[in-house]
Amino acid sequence: MKVLFLASLMLFFTLSSCSKYKETTKYALLSKNQRIAKDWKLISQSENLRAKDLTGFEIHLDLHQDNSYVSSTRYLLFGQVLRTEKKGTWHFSTDSKSLLLNETNNQKIDRLTIVLLKKGELQLQQIIPVDQEKKSVVTKLFIFKTK
Protein backbone atom coordinates (compact mmCIF):
# COMPACT_ATOMS: atom_id res chain seq x y z
CA MET A 1 0.00 0.00 0.00
CA LYS A 2 2.86 2.39 0.85
CA VAL A 3 4.51 1.63 -2.49
CA LEU A 4 1.29 2.44 -4.37
CA PHE A 5 0.88 5.67 -2.41
CA LEU A 6 4.50 6.76 -3.08
CA ALA A 7 4.21 5.89 -6.78
CA SER A 8 0.99 7.92 -7.03
CA LEU A 9 2.60 10.84 -5.24
CA MET A 10 5.64 10.78 -7.56
CA LEU A 11 3.40 10.60 -10.63
CA PHE A 12 1.35 13.57 -9.40
CA PHE A 13 4.41 15.79 -8.90
CA THR A 14 5.89 14.73 -12.23
CA LEU A 15 2.74 15.50 -14.22
CA SER A 16 1.84 18.69 -12.40
CA SER A 17 5.07 20.51 -13.21
CA CYS A 18 4.81 23.87 -14.94
CA SER A 19 5.63 24.42 -18.57
CA LYS A 20 8.55 26.71 -19.41
CA TYR A 21 7.16 27.74 -22.78
CA LYS A 22 4.00 29.68 -23.54
CA GLU A 23 1.16 27.80 -25.20
CA THR A 24 2.85 24.45 -24.64
CA THR A 25 0.93 21.66 -23.00
CA LYS A 26 2.02 20.87 -19.46
CA TYR A 27 2.52 17.19 -20.13
CA ALA A 28 5.19 15.75 -22.41
CA LEU A 29 6.50 12.21 -22.53
CA LEU A 30 9.67 13.28 -24.35
CA SER A 31 12.39 15.48 -22.89
CA LYS A 32 12.93 18.97 -24.29
CA ASN A 33 16.09 17.69 -26.03
CA GLN A 34 14.14 14.90 -27.70
CA ARG A 35 11.38 17.31 -28.76
CA ILE A 36 13.76 19.92 -30.22
CA ALA A 37 16.40 17.68 -31.87
CA LYS A 38 14.76 17.34 -35.29
CA ASP A 39 15.00 18.65 -38.83
CA TRP A 40 12.80 21.76 -38.78
CA LYS A 41 11.48 23.49 -41.90
CA LEU A 42 10.67 27.21 -41.69
CA ILE A 43 7.07 27.75 -42.75
CA SER A 44 6.55 31.34 -41.60
CA GLN A 45 8.65 34.32 -40.60
CA SER A 46 7.63 37.78 -39.47
CA GLU A 47 9.56 40.88 -38.58
CA ASN A 48 7.90 43.43 -36.27
CA LEU A 49 4.57 41.64 -36.89
CA ARG A 50 4.92 41.89 -40.70
CA ALA A 51 4.99 38.60 -42.58
CA LYS A 52 8.05 37.97 -44.73
CA ASP A 53 7.59 36.50 -48.20
CA LEU A 54 9.38 33.14 -48.27
CA THR A 55 8.49 32.35 -51.87
CA GLY A 56 11.44 30.65 -53.54
CA PHE A 57 13.17 29.96 -50.23
CA GLU A 58 13.48 26.67 -48.40
CA ILE A 59 15.06 27.05 -44.96
CA HIS A 60 15.89 24.19 -42.59
CA LEU A 61 17.25 24.12 -39.07
CA ASP A 62 18.50 20.62 -38.34
CA LEU A 63 19.19 20.23 -34.61
CA HIS A 64 21.00 16.99 -33.75
CA GLN A 65 20.98 15.01 -30.48
CA ASP A 66 24.75 15.59 -30.10
CA ASN A 67 24.07 19.37 -29.84
CA SER A 68 25.38 20.14 -33.31
CA TYR A 69 23.24 21.92 -35.89
CA VAL A 70 23.09 22.70 -39.59
CA SER A 71 21.11 25.66 -40.88
CA SER A 72 20.59 25.50 -44.63
CA THR A 73 18.92 27.84 -47.09
CA ARG A 74 18.01 26.91 -50.64
CA TYR A 75 16.77 29.65 -52.95
CA LEU A 76 16.33 30.56 -56.59
CA LEU A 77 18.25 33.52 -58.02
CA PHE A 78 18.16 34.36 -61.73
CA GLY A 79 17.13 30.80 -62.55
CA GLN A 80 19.94 29.26 -60.52
CA VAL A 81 19.41 27.23 -57.35
CA LEU A 82 21.78 28.48 -54.67
CA ARG A 83 22.49 26.98 -51.27
CA THR A 84 24.02 28.37 -48.11
CA GLU A 85 24.84 26.42 -44.99
CA LYS A 86 25.86 27.27 -41.44
CA LYS A 87 27.11 24.74 -38.92
CA GLY A 88 27.72 24.94 -35.21
CA THR A 89 26.53 23.84 -31.80
CA TRP A 90 23.30 24.49 -29.93
CA HIS A 91 22.24 24.35 -26.32
CA PHE A 92 19.53 25.64 -24.02
CA SER A 93 20.04 28.71 -21.85
CA THR A 94 20.43 28.03 -18.13
CA ASP A 95 16.71 28.67 -17.55
CA SER A 96 15.82 26.50 -20.61
CA LYS A 97 13.71 29.32 -22.09
CA SER A 98 16.04 30.10 -24.98
CA LEU A 99 17.87 28.21 -27.68
CA LEU A 100 21.48 29.35 -28.15
CA LEU A 101 23.09 28.81 -31.56
CA ASN A 102 26.87 29.11 -31.73
CA GLU A 103 28.03 29.08 -35.34
CA THR A 104 31.43 27.49 -35.98
CA ASN A 105 34.15 30.10 -36.67
CA ASN A 106 31.88 32.91 -35.44
CA GLN A 107 32.12 34.58 -32.03
CA LYS A 108 28.46 35.65 -32.01
CA ILE A 109 25.87 33.46 -30.30
CA ASP A 110 22.27 33.81 -31.52
CA ARG A 111 19.72 33.73 -28.68
CA LEU A 112 16.26 32.63 -29.76
CA THR A 113 13.49 32.61 -27.18
CA ILE A 114 11.35 29.47 -27.33
CA VAL A 115 7.75 30.56 -27.66
CA LEU A 116 6.33 27.13 -28.44
CA LEU A 117 7.83 23.65 -28.42
CA LYS A 118 5.50 20.77 -29.04
CA LYS A 119 5.38 17.71 -31.23
CA GLY A 120 5.95 18.81 -34.80
CA GLU A 121 6.02 22.57 -34.13
CA LEU A 122 8.62 25.05 -32.92
CA GLN A 123 8.23 28.81 -32.59
CA LEU A 124 11.27 30.95 -31.89
CA GLN A 125 11.49 34.68 -31.28
CA GLN A 126 14.60 36.81 -31.71
CA ILE A 127 14.87 40.38 -30.47
CA ILE A 128 17.67 42.35 -32.10
CA PRO A 129 18.64 45.79 -30.72
CA VAL A 130 18.89 48.38 -33.50
CA ASP A 131 19.40 51.72 -31.78
CA GLN A 132 20.54 51.86 -28.15
CA GLU A 133 19.63 55.54 -27.70
CA LYS A 134 16.08 55.16 -28.98
CA LYS A 135 15.83 51.70 -27.45
CA SER A 136 14.45 50.38 -30.74
CA VAL A 137 14.51 46.71 -31.59
CA VAL A 138 13.58 44.35 -34.40
CA THR A 139 11.46 41.43 -33.28
CA LYS A 140 11.53 38.35 -35.49
CA LEU A 141 9.23 35.35 -35.12
CA PHE A 142 10.10 32.05 -36.81
CA ILE A 143 7.59 29.20 -37.08
CA PHE A 144 8.94 25.76 -37.94
CA LYS A 145 7.33 22.40 -38.62
CA THR A 146 9.05 19.05 -38.80
CA LYS A 147 9.59 17.54 -42.23
For 106-126, write each residue's pLDDT tens digit: 888 999 999 999 889 999 999
Grade residue 6 by pLDDT with cuts at 50, 70 and 90: very low
Percent of the chain with pLDDT over 70: 81
Residue 22 confidence (pLDDT):
53
Class at the top of the CATH hierarchy for domain 21-146 = mainly beta
Residue 20 confidence (pLDDT):
57
Q: Who wins on pLDDT, 47 or 23?
A: 47
Residue 77 confidence (pLDDT):
85
How many CB atoms are located within 10 Å of the residue 134 CB? 7
Kindly state the average pLDDT of the residues 81-94.
96
Residue 23 confidence (pLDDT):
45
Residue 73 confidence (pLDDT):
97
Euclidean distance between CA atoms 114 and 126, whole angstroms: 9
How many CB atoms are located within 10 Å of the residue 96 CB? 13
Euclidean distance between CA atoms 31 and 9, whole angstroms: 21
Residue 75 confidence (pLDDT):
93
Residue 107 confidence (pLDDT):
86
Euclidean distance between CA atoms 50 and 8, whole angstroms: 48
Kindly tell me if the per-residue pLDDT of 25 is higher than 50: yes
How many CB atoms are located within 10 Å of the residue 33 CB? 12
On the CB side of 53, how many CA atoms lie within 13 Å of its CA? 2
Grade residue 21 by pLDDT with cuts at 50, 70 and 90: low
How many CB atoms are located within 10 Å of the residue 15 CB? 9
Euclidean distance between CA atoms 140 and 39, whole angstroms: 20
pTM: 0.78
